[in-house]
Amino acid sequence: ETGVTQTPRHLVMGMTNKKSLKCEQHLGHNAMYWYKQSAKKPLELMFVYSLEERVENNSVPSRFSPECPNSSHLFLHLHTLQPEDSALYLCASSQEGTTETQYFGPGTRLLVL
Amino acid sequence: EDQVTQSPEALRLQEGESSSLNCSYTVSGLRGLFWYRQDPGKGPEFLFTLYSAGEEKEKERLKATLTKKESFLHITAPKPEDSATYLCAVSLSSNTGKLIFGQGTTLQVKP
């Protein structure tokens, strides 16, 4: 595997379900990010982890819960979501202290029924 | 408020017809400006980073330029495979971990 990978690529869940999105980066980076991309809206930053510590939480509802067990893995735990949470969820990683360019994974397309 | 605006929202070109996409920004302190390409159903693919006014970068048919208020992505003699959504984002000198994205320009190149 190379770059940033995300699983699953597609997810359909009911409003009462609990699911998790997984992201793995193979670039040796020390920072990871979750973004939400909705139709006709700019990418919205949700969470930032630097050196495995959460450094930013952009007023995201508590039904989204991130977890970063190490510098290569990032999870987004989902529970009791709403239909308006349907979107493309993107993971990215970067190396802080250098160019800081963020490299993105392919995303998970989430549909909440 | 820090803001990034891209124009036009959509652009249709004939193959070979050169054009430019615009990204204007209003931020408290620019650290870097990034261009990405995004194909439908995929994650953004990194193209360029620009750091200072006057800087230019090129890759195949694409050339990105930066001024103190905006950036342009020039597309020379585009091909149908250049069809995609092009995203512009800025990072701030006060918060290097955060990118502020524009809404994107969707480019369609017809053969």
Per-residue pLDDT of chain A (113 residues; tens, 9 = 90+): 689 999 999 999 988 889 999 999 999 999 999 999 998 889 999 999 987 777 777 789 999 999 999 999 999 999 999 999 999 999 999 987 666 799 999 999 999 99
A37 to A33, A66, B99, B102: CA distances (angstroms): 13, 17, 13, 12
Contact flag A104-B45 (C-beta cutoff 8 Å)? yes
Which residues of chain B register pLDDT less than 50? none
Structure confidence at residue A2 (pLDDT): 81
Q: Is B43 on the interface with A (CB under 8 A)?
A: yes
Q: Is B42 on the interface with A (CB under 8 A)?
A: yes
Contact flag B43-A104 (C-beta cutoff 8 Å)? yes
Of A40, A43, A107, the CB nearest to B101: A43
Contacts of A41 (CB under 8 A, 6+ apart): B103
Q: Which two tokens stand for residue A52?
A: 């495995």
Task: Find chain B residues with C-beta within 8 A of A31's C-beta.
Answer: 97
Structure confidence at residue A110 (pLDDT): 96
A95 to A100, A107, B48, B57: CA distances (angstroms): 5, 20, 16, 21
Q: Is B33 on the interface with A (CB under 8 A)?
A: no
* Residue contacts between A and B (CB atoms, under 8 Å): 59
β-strands A87-94, A31-37: how paired?
Answer: antiparallel
Structure confidence at residue A99 (pLDDT): 64
Contact flag A104-B36 (C-beta cutoff 8 Å)? yes
Tell me the nearest-neighbour CA distance from B49 into chain A, angstroms.
7
